[in-house]
Amino acid sequence: MNFNKFELDHIGIAVETLEQGFAFYKALGFGEMEIEEVPSQKVKTGFLRLGNQATLELLEPTSPDSTLRKFLDKRGPGIHHICLRVQGLDRILADLKAKGVRLIDEQAKMGAHGCRVAFIHPASTGGVLIELSEKTEELV
């Protein structure tokens, strides 16, 4: 059996606004965020780089019908998802589907930084929203 290789890509944190969410990290000593809007997810992201390649991703909803808006209304700001970087995302999604894992995205979508991403439903993961991310060729 071939095991997949995983790396922690980022931890997604839901915030009402990037500025509000960033205030604590600024106090802690982080520099500026790298801000990028992701229309496919109806969010604006603010990335905070960590020393070990991983990032913290602050997430602000850009639309009242964003799923992130619903998350904030129900649970308030806080940890939203964990993103694992993978290789062979399409194969992994097909494999999970075959194993009966509930996928939010059966097909990968474009995420921030030109990555292809797909979310796995927390009902199948023990309550954690998991994002899988694969770098696209142009950025390697």
Binding interface with Zn ion (CB under 5 A): 12, 57, 83, 131
- Encode burial over 25-40: b for 16+ CB neighbours within 10 A, e otherwise: beeeeeeebeeeebee
Q: Which is nearer to Zn ion, 8 or 101 (CB)?
A: 8
In the complex, least distance from residue 81 CB atom to Zn ion, rounded to whole angstroms = 6
Min separation Cβ 1 and Zn ion, Å: 28
Q: Which of 108, 101, 98, 105 is nearest to 123 (CA)?
A: 101
Q: Select 60 or 131, whichever has its Cβ closest to Zn ion.
A: 131
Contact criterion met (CB below 8 Å) for 45 and 70:
no
Measuring CA to CA, how many Å separate 95 from each of 19, 28, 81, 135?
39, 41, 21, 19
Which helix (H) or strand (E) segment holds residue 67: the answer is helix 67-75
Closest residue to Zn ion, based on beta-carbon distance: 12
Cβ proximity to Zn ion: between 29 and 119 the closer is 119
In the complex, the smallest distance separating the C-beta of residue 76 from Zn ion, rounded to whole angstroms, is 18
- Smallest gap from Cβ 45 to Zn ion, in A, equals 7
Residue closer to Zn ion by CB (options 12, 46) is 12
